[in-house]
Copies of this chain bind each other. A is one copy, B any other.
Amino acid sequence: MGKDKLSYQLKTPKGTKDWEGIDMVIRDQIFNTITSVFKRHGAVTIDTPVFELRQILSGKYGEDSKLIYDLADQGGELCSLRYDLTVPFARWLAMNPSIQSIKRYHIAKVYRRDQPAMTKGRMREFYQCDFDVAGAYDRMVPDAEIIRIVCEVFGKGGLVLDGIFEVCGVPKEKIRTISSAVDKLDKLPWEEVKKEMVEEKGLSEEVADKIWEFVQMRGARDILDTLRQDPRVTSNESLISGLQDMDLLFTYLEAFDVLPHVEFNLSLARGLDYYTGVIYEVVTEGSAPPSTTSTKKPPSTNHNHNPKPPRKEKSAPEFDEDRSNDPSVGVGSIAAGGRYDELVGMFSGKAQIPCVGISFGVDRIFSITKSRLNTTTSTLRPTEVDVYVMAFGGKGFTGLLKERMQVAKTLWDAGIKAEFSYKEKPKLGAQFKKAEESGIPFAVILGEEEVGRGEVRVKEMGLEEGHGEKDGVVVKMEGLVGEVRGRLERKRREREGGDGDGEGEVVDSMRELKVEDRERKTGDDGV
C-alpha cells in the first residue's frame, strides 16, 4: 500500500477509535438493552450539542477541568467539547424553567483529554448512557428507582453503594478536602492520612477516627444497625437524619426486590464538585487491575461521573501513551452516579432542581461483554440479511443481472432483507462464498431455464450432503415471498426455542457481570 504520498500517519486521533464489524453489533445490542430499560421506567430522551459555551463547563469539574477539549478560537463564541452529559442536562433544565421535573436519558459521546488505555475501554472519546431524574420529590424515591434500573440493566450483577459521608460528622465545608484525603488510602497508611486530616485540614481527631471505622465497613442493613448503636451517631441530629434516609432507601430497595444486590460502603471518593448526597458505582470482576497490592478499599475508578485526573509521576508513562498493557490499570467502574441537588442552581441563579442520576460506561461494559462472548460458538453476524439472490448458468451465461435485481426488488418490497452480487456475470462459487461468510440463512437461485418458466430455487444455506432439501425447492415467482417468509418465521422460532440467538448471547454476557470478591485486589487508578 503506497503510503509514499502521505506526509502524515493514517490513523485516528489518540484515545479514539473506529468501531466496526461485530463490535458494532455487540455495542448496538448493549445500547438497545439499556435503552429498553430506560423506556420501561418512562424516561424521555434529549439530545444536546457536542460542544457547549466554554463558560457553561467552567467551574464544574474541579481539577479535571484541565481534561476538557477546547475548540479553537476561529471567531465568535468560545466553545468546548462536553465532558459529561450531566452538566449539559443541568444547563438545559436551567434554560427551560417551565420543566420542573423530568426523567431523561441520553446516550452520547463525551470527551476527556485523559491518558488512554484502549483495550480496557478507557478512551478520550467514549459513550455514556445517562439516566437522571430531576424534580423535588420525597426523599430517596427516585434514588431507589435508579438503583433498580442498574439491577435491571445488569441482571444479577452487583452494585456497590458508596456511603453517605456526612454520617461521619464531617462539616459540610470540609467534605471535599477530607474526601480527597480518604482517597489517598489507596497509597498511604491510615496514620498519614489521619495526620493530614487533623493537622492540615483541621478535622477533629474523633471525626477522623470515625471515618477510619466507617471506611472499613461493608454490608447493608447491618451497617445501619451498627451505626444506630453508636452513641456518637445517635447524639447528632444530622447523622440521625442521614440514618433515616438510608433506612428509607433500604425499604424501597426491598420493595423493588434489589436489596440483595446492593452493598453499602462508607469509603467514598468524590471527585466532581457537583455531588451533594448518596453516590454509587457498579464494579465488576474486571474493574480492578489484575494484580497489585491488596487493600480494603474498592477500586475508586469512577471514570463516568467521577474520573481521576492522570497523575504524572517519576515512572509514569507519557501522557499520550496507551496504558492497555499496564497491569496496574483496571477497567474501572462500569456505572456510577449520585445526587447533585445544586448543579441546576449554578446556572439558574436561585432556582434549584434536585437531581439524581446514573451513567453507564458503555465502552467498559463492551470490553467486558466482548471478552466473555464465546467467539467460537457465537452466532452473531455483521448484517441482518435474510436472502442472497444468486444466478448460475452454463456457456454463454448472461449473468441474469436484471432478473436478480427484479427478484431483490420483490423481496425488498415485502420488507425482506436481500442482497445480490454487483457483478454482471458472477461465479456461482463466489456468490455462495459471500452468502456463507455473511451467515445469510437463505439463497434464492436463478437458473436460465427456471427463470424462463417463471420459477426460482429457494435453498437454505449450510445444509449437509444428504439432507433432503440440500438442493432447495423450486417455487413460482408469485410464491417466492410467501415461501421465504414462512422459512424465516420457522427459523426465528427455532432460534428462540434454542439458546443460540444473537441478541440473547450479548445480553447474557452483559448480565454475567459479577461484583468481584469483597476482598478484591485493587490498585491506584490515577497513574
A residues in contact (CB < 8 Å) with B: 1-14, 16-21, 24, 28, 39-53, 55-56, 69-74, 76-77, 79, 81, 91-92, 94-97, 109, 111, 113, 125, 133, 135, 137-138, 141-142, 144-145, 148, 152, 251-252, 255-257, 319-320, 346-351, 382-385, 401-403, 405-406, 408-409, 412-413, 415-419, 422-424, 438
B residues within 8 A CB of A14? 76-77
Of the residues B44, B81, B405, contact of A255 by C-beta under 8 Å: B405
Q: With the chains together, A408 CA to B382 CA distance in Å?
A: 37
User: Assuming the A-B contacts A16-B49, A18-B48, are A424 and B138 also in contact, with contact meaning beta carbons closer than 8 angstroms in the complex?
Assistant: yes
B residues within 8 A CB of A79? 13
Specify how many copies of this chain sit in the oligomer: 2
Of the residues B48, B71, B403, contact of A69 by C-beta under 8 Å: B71
Whether the Cβ atoms of B13 and A49 lie closer than 8 Å is: yes
Whether the Cβ atoms of B70 and A71 lie closer than 8 Å is: yes
Whether the Cβ atoms of B417 and A94 lie closer than 8 Å is: no
Whether the Cβ atoms of A40 and B418 lie closer than 8 Å is: yes
Interface hub of A71, A74, A92 (most chain B Cβ within 10 A):
A71
B residues within 8 A CB of A71? 69-72, 81
Which residue of chain B lies nearest to A125 when distances are taken between CB atoms in the complex?
Answer: B49
B residues within 8 A CB of A77? 13-14
B residues within 8 A CB of A416? 40
B residues within 8 A CB of A422? 133, 135, 137-138, 141-142, 145
Whether the Cβ atoms of B49 and A409 lie closer than 8 Å is: no
Of the residues B53, B125, B133, B405, contact of A252 by C-beta under 8 Å: B405
Whether the Cβ atoms of B70 and A383 lie closer than 8 Å is: no
User: Assuming the A-B contacts A256-B405, A348-B2, are A417 and B39 also in contact, with contact meaning beta carbons closer than 8 angstroms in the complex?
Assistant: yes
Whether the Cβ atoms of A383 and B43 lie closer than 8 Å is: yes
Interface hub of A11, A42, A46, A77 (most chain B Cβ within 10 A):
A42
Interface hub of A12, A41, A53 (most chain B Cβ within 10 A):
A12
Whether the Cβ atoms of B13 and A349 lie closer than 8 Å is: no
Whether the Cβ atoms of B52 and A24 lie closer than 8 Å is: no
B residues within 8 A CB of A72? 69-73
Whether the Cβ atoms of B349 and A384 lie closer than 8 Å is: no
| A131, chain B: closest CB distance, angstroms | 13
Whether the Cβ atoms of A7 and B49 lie closer than 8 Å is: no
User: Assuming the A-B contacts A40-B418, A74-B113, are A349 and B135 also in contact, with contact meaning beta carbons closer than 8 angstroms in the complex?
Assistant: no
Q: With the chains together, A92 CA to B350 CA distance in Å?
A: 49
Of the residues B74, B133, B349, contact of A70 by C-beta under 8 Å: B74
B residues within 8 A CB of A96? 20
B residues within 8 A CB of A413? 257
